[in-house]
Amino acid sequence: MIEITNRAAKELKALLESEGKSDASIRIYTTGTSPSGDAQYGLALADDTDEFDVTMENNGIKLVMAAKVAIGFSDGSIDFVADDNGKNFIIQNAESGSCSNCEECNICEAE
Residues 71-106 pLDDT 10s: 888 789 999 999 998 999 999 987 654 444 444 444
**pLDDT value, residue 96:** 57
- Domains: count for the chain: 1
Residue 99 maps to which CATH number? 2.60.300.12
Amino acid at 105: C
Residues 40-61 pLDDT 10s: 899 999 988 889 999 999 999 9
Q: Which residues, at least 6 apart from 92, have a Cβ–Cβ distance to it below 8 Å? A: 76, 77, 78, 79
pLDDT band at 37 (very low <50, low <70, confident <90, very high): confident
Pairing of strands 86-93, 61-65: unpaired
Amino acid at 67: A
Residues 6-29 pLDDT 10s: 999 999 999 999 999 999 999 999
**pLDDT value, residue 71:** 85
Domain range spanning residue 18?
Answer: 2-110
Q: How many helices (H) and strands (E) does the chain have?
A: 3, 7
Q: In what order do the strands lie in the sheet with 39-46?
A: 39-46, 25-33, 61-65, 54-58
